[in-house]
């Protein structure tokens, strides 16, 4: 409906955002979507302080980059700072799980919460299958059914503020449904691929954080396979919360047949059910996985791996998320 431009993948800091504005914004652009990220206090203001935003979305704030921020309080303050520069507070959308959300709601009258329950924009009856995800979406007193090719409850959660903003911009539910239904899986963000020995791979390697890791495990669980495997090099920059974060991941594996192969020795301390296998290097990890898989196996790739390593597991990936 609109002519939209956006920042490119991972171009979310000052130089990257400026380059994308120069390269992607044209005289015909009606909406420019900008992703802003930071690693320490002051970086968001430096990156986007000159931009007059008309809407803003605050996604869930986990503990990614916590080690660089130094404290969770500093992380929350920096990541939410952009919202205070939005011109229309009724077009601010905040994930309902954000810590200290009540303070933000008081500071930004008219802003909207989104989440799976007790929110201005909510999703209920979420059903995830290997083919995609469905949900019932409610905006105020309005309700419609949603279907997407994206996998996982968190995919619906990520769509909710976009749906809310689209509705506030005048799109009707038929237009929104059609647009969401047309979204292809994004390679590296829980995208499905066929690979070595005919196995199915769920590629979640674009980035990794604790909440995303847990959601990816939930997606892996829905696949009807007796041989389910996760490979990961671990999560960086968790600071003092690394042990607790890995405990959550280990607990998520409980009562499943999932095996986790990793080069991060910190997982060893959480290996109470012998489901976690640690190896000294990535090459050895992949060698072992290749011996374990067949056409009936499902493998979750969680977090970044070098292209040379991925090429041993996956065929060439296209933009549709297939191999």
Pairing mode, strands 191-194 and 276-278: unpaired
Span 144-152, average pLDDT: 93
Give the domain CATH number at 145: 3.40.1190.10
Q: Do 168 and 24 belong together in one domain?
A: yes
Query: Are 170 and 53 part of one and the same domain?
Result: yes
Name the DSSP letter for residue 90.
Answer: G
Mean pLDDT for the stretch of residues 220-240 = 89
Q: What is the C-alpha separation between 168 and 111, in angstroms, rounded?
A: 12
Indicate whether 160 and 283 sit together in one domain: no
**Which of 181, 213, 237 is where one domain is finished?**
181
SS3 content of the chain, % helix, strand, coil (to 5): 35, 20, 40
Residue 315 placed within a domain: no
- Whether residues 17 and 162 share a domain: the answer is yes
Which of 181, 199, 214 marks a domain boundary?
A: 181
Among 165, 200, 193, which residue's Cα sits nearest to residue 4? Answer: 165
Q: Could you tell me the residue range of the domain that residue 104 belongs to?
A: 4-181
What average pLDDT does this structure show over 44-54? 86
pLDDT of residue 272: 67
More confident residue, 245 or 300: 300
Tell me the pLDDT tens digit for each residue of 281-322.
Answer: 999 999 999 999 999 999 999 999 999 999 999 975 433 333
- The mean per-residue pLDDT over the stretch 161-188 comes to 93
DSSP conformation class of 254:
T
Distance CA 25, CA 207 (A): 26
- DSSP reduced 3-state for 191: strand
Residue 218 and residue 84 share a domain: no
Q: Which of 25-29, 208-212, 250-254 has the lowest mean pLDDT?
A: 208-212
Point out the least confidently predicted range of 70-84, 216-230, 267-281. Answer: 70-84
pLDDT in the model for residue 70: 56
**Average pLDDT, stretch 84-100?**
84
Which of 16-25, 34-43, 230-239 is most confident? 16-25
pLDDT at residue 318 in the model: 39
Q: Are residues 55 and 13 in the same domain?
A: yes
Residue 85 lies in a domain: yes
User: What's the rounded Cα separation, in Å, for the pair 192 and 208?
Assistant: 17
Do residues 144 and 262 share a domain? Answer: no
Q: What percent of the chain shows pLDDT beyond 70? A: 92
What local confidence, expressed as pLDDT, does residue 83 receive?
Answer: 84
- Asked whether the predicted pLDDT for residue 99 surpasses 60, the reply is yes
pLDDT of residue 7: 94
Q: What's this model's pTM, rounded to 2 decimal places?
A: 0.84
Cβ atoms 142, 136 nearer than 8 A: no
For the chain, the domain total comes to: 2
SS3 157: helix
**Helix, strand, or coil here: 144?**
strand
* pLDDT greater than 70 at residue 62: no
Residue in 305, 301, 316 with CA at minimum distance from that of residue 283:
305
Cβ proximity of 157 and 176 under 8 Å: no
Domain edge (last residue) among 181, 211, 236? 181
pLDDT value, residue 71: 63
Residue 116 pLDDT class (50, 70, 90 cuts)? confident
Residues 26 and 73 in one domain: yes
pLDDT value, residue 323: 41
pLDDT for 258 equals 96
Q: What is the CATH number of the domain that holds 198?
A: 3.90.190.20
pLDDT band at residue 38, thresholds of 50, 70 and 90?
confident
Query: Which of 10-19, 51-60, 234-243, 289-298 is predicted most confidently?
Result: 289-298
């Amino acid at each position: 409906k609109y002519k939209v431009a956006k920042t490119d993948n991972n171009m979310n800091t000052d130089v990257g955002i400026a380059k994308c504005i120069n390269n992607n914004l044209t005289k015909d652009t009606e909406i420019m979507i900008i992703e802003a990220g930071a690693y320490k206090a002051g970086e968001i203001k430096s990156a986007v302080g000159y931009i007059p935003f008309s809407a803003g979305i605050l996604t869930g704030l986990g503990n990614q980059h916590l080690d660089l921020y130094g404290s969770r309080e500093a992380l929350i303050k920096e990541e939410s700072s952009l919202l205070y520069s939005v011109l229309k507070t009724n077009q601010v959308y905040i994930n309902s799980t954000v810590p200290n959300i009540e303070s933000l709601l008081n500071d930004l009258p008219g802003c909207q919460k989104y989440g799976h329950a007790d929110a201005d924009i909510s999703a209920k009856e979420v059903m995830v299958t290997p083919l995609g995800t469905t949900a019932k979406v409610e905006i105020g007193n309005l309700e419609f059914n949603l279907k997407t090719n994206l996998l996982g409850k968190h995919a619906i959660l990520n769509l909710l503020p976009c749906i809310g903003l689209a509705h506030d911009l005048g799109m009707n539910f038929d237009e929104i449904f059609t647009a969401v239904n047309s979204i292809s899986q994004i390679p590296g963000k829980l995208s499905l691929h066929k690979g070595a020995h005919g196995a199915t791979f769920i590629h979640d390697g674009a980035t990794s954080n604790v909440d995303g890791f847990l959601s990816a495990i939930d997606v892996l669980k829905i696949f009807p396979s007796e041989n389910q495997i996760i490979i990961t090099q671990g999560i960086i920059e968790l600071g003092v919360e690394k042990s607790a974060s890995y405990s959550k991941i280990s607990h998520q594996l409980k009562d499943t047949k999932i095996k986790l192969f990793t080069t991060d020795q910190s997982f060893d301390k959480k290996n109470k059910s012998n489901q976690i296998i640690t190896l000294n290097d990535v090459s050895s990890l992949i060698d072992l996985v290749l011996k374990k898989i067949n056409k009936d196996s499902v493998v979750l790739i969680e977090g970044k791996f070098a292209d040379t390593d991925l090429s041993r597991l996956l065929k060439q990936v296209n933009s549709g998320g297939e191999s």
